[in-house]
Amino acid sequence: MKTDLSAEYFSRARTVIPGGVNSPVRACKSVGCDPLFVQKASGATVTDVDGNEFIDFVGSWGPMILGHAHPAVVEAVRETALDGTSFGAPTPLEVELAELVCDSVPSLEKVRFVNSGTEATMSAIRLARGFTGRNVVVKFDGCYHGHADSFLVKAGSGVITLGIPGSPGVPEDIVKNTLSIPYNDVDTLEKTLRDDSLDIACVIVEPVAGNMGVIVPEMHFLKTLRELTREMGIILIFDEVITGFRLALGGAQERFGIMPDLTCLGKIIGGGLPVGAYGGRKDIMDTVAPDGPVYQAGTLSGNPLAMAAGLALVKELRKPGFYDALEEKSDFFAAELARIGASANIPTVLNRIGSMMTCFFSEDPVVDFVSAMKADTDRYGRHFRQMLEGGIWLAPSQFEAAFVSAAHDRSQLEKALNMTESSFKKLAD
């Protein structure tokens, strides 16, 4: 594997970009190597600037559920770009995508498009505070909801990958209004939400945690969360930036049959272009400006290129049998990974739901932030490098998800499994 040009680009990048990357995990620090710079991608593969091709299980961190450069998405963007790339005005495309998204996601009555998942979550908690007249946000240890000030308390994703406990620059006056409690812990959840003195406006949760590695919720936990928030007049926000349109057309809420008050979306609904959205109950959404007093705005919100890409992608997802086929493919891959892990002379735990999964190098079940932190990150780093040498592109962090796409074929999955078996044997030596 040649990396001459990647090394050159990384050297240049570090002189003009902090850390040489525009998002911290991409620096690959936790896996003990420098990043590869990607030139292009197609289907289930990415190719770096040195011409090395890899089978991709990152999928741009989730949205490439159809695979890269899907013809319908590319053509939609191309045709739309011919008419202009941004207007700062309403377009028919945003209306059509809003109708399609609301028709697909069970709890959405109205939706507002923004430009990223972070924008969606920060807007949703502002809306919840404005609607309830309360101040406190409850989140869960290890859940990542973007880099807005309110969320960088025991956050997941790059924050834990890089060993950062929080973040300088976040005022204590803001942090004091965020409570972080253990994921999947019903007793702490009930004690916290029933405390009237806490002035809780909302609870925000990844219905399936995907940023401390994949952690599937206990159904009793999610059901209790819904029952308590409804009883206490607290807004329940599902952060479905990863799970939305990934676990089902209607996301985790469809899969589990639990309806939140507000939902945050991103990634997939822009077909890989920058996009986010938040939406939910009509009475709550009607308090957003210009209908109501809760202000949120964005020049590029509803950008026509992102809307066109999202429309093309969601239409593909709505075709009969799409999720059944993806589930069958993911089930085969996960079952074989689990078999390889069980037969290896190293401890592994495979957490999986639908087409997202994480293989933890751990002896114990991984059910929350504390148990996730017991994973052997050094061993994962070795595994990452060995898989990369074998042409398999994994997330450069133990605490992220691997994604199977519709573009992965059986031979690609089998190659990844063979490389995994080989890597595990080397790790056991």
Ordered per-residue pLDDT tens for the chain, 429 residues: 899 999 999 999 999 999 999 999 999 999 999 999 999 999 999 999 999 999 999 999 999 999 999 999 999 999 999 999 999 999 999 999 999 999 999 999 999 999 999 999 999 999 999 999 999 999 999 999 988 777 776 554 545 444 444 566 777 777 788 999 999 999 999 999 999 999 999 999 999 999 999 999 999 999 999 999 999 999 999 999 999 999 999 999 999 999 999 999 998 999 999 999 999 999 999 999 999 999 999 999 999 999 999 999 999 999 999 999 999 999 999 999 999 999 998 999 999 999 999 999 999 999 999 999 999 999 999 999 999 999 999 999 999 999 999 999 999 999 999 999 999 999 998
Is position 239 annotated as part of the catalytic site?
yes
Active-site position among 29, 56, 144, 183: 144
Calpha distance 320→325 (Å, rounded): 10
Calpha distance 256→247 (Å, rounded): 10
Coil, helix or strand at residue 356: strand
Domains of the chain and CATH, by start: 4-69+321-428 (3.90.1150.10), 71-317 (3.40.640.10)
Cβ–Cβ under 8 Å, residues 22 and 356: no
Calpha distance 201→223 (Å, rounded): 19
Active-site position among 239, 261, 368, 376: 239
The values of phi and psi at residue 163, to 5°, are: 70, 30
Calpha distance 185→101 (Å, rounded): 32
Calpha distance 248→235 (Å, rounded): 23
**Cα angle at 312 between 309 and 313, to 5 degrees?**
85
Active-site position among 29, 139, 154, 267: 267
Half-sphere exposure of 7 (CA within 13 A, CB side): 5
Residue 164: the pLDDT is 46
Other beta carbons within 10 Å of 242:
30
DSSP single-letter state for residue 147:
S
What's the pTM?
0.94
Is position 103 annotated as part of the catalytic site?
no
Residue 172: the pLDDT is 75
Residue 162: the pLDDT is 46
Q: What is the CA radius of gyration of the chain?
A: 21
Is position 295 annotated as part of the catalytic site?
no
